[in-house]
Chain A
Amino acid sequence: AQTVTQSQPEMSVQEAETVTLSCTYDTSESDYYLFWYKQPPSRQMILVIRQEAYKQQNATENRFSVNFQKAAKSFSLKISDSQLGDAAMYFCAYRRSGAGSYQLTFGKGTKLSVIP
Chain B
Amino acid sequence: DGGITQSPKYLFRKEGQNVTLSCEQNLNHDAMYWYRQDPGQGLRLIYYSQIVNDFQKGDIAEGYSVSREKKESFPLTVTSAQKNPTAFYLCASSKNRAPYEQYFGPGTRLTVT
A interface residues, Cβ below 8 angstroms from B: 4, 33, 35, 37, 42-47, 50, 52, 91, 95, 97, 99, 102-104, 106-109
| Contact pattern, B 1-44, Cβ under 8 Å of A = 1, otherwise 0 | 00000000000000000000000000000010100000011111
Shortest Cβ distance from B75 into chain A, in angstroms? Answer: 19
Beyond A33-B100, A44-B105, is A103–B42 a contact (Cβ under 8 Å)?
no
How many of chain B's residues have a CB under 8 angstroms from any CB in A?
A: 28
A48 to chain B, nearest CB (A): 11
The reply on B90 being an interface residue by CB < 8 A is yes
> Among A33, A44, A107, A109, which residue has its beta carbon within 8 angstroms of that of B107?
A44
A43 near B45 with CB under 8 A, answer no
Residue of A nearest to B45 (CB): A103
Distance from B46 Cβ to chain A, minimum over Cβ atoms (Å): 11
CB-contact partner of A91 in B33, B43, B59, B96, under 8 A: B43
**B48 interface residue (CB < 8 Å to A):** yes
Instruction: Decide: B88 and A33 in contact? CB cutoff 8 A.
Output: no
Complex partner residue of A43 from B41, B96, B99, B106, CB under 8 angstroms: B106
Using Cβ atoms and an 8 Å threshold, which residues of chain B touch A108? 40-42
Q: Quick one: which of B42, B44, B48, B96 contacts A109, CB cutoff 8 A?
A: B42
A111 to B4, CA, bound (A): 25
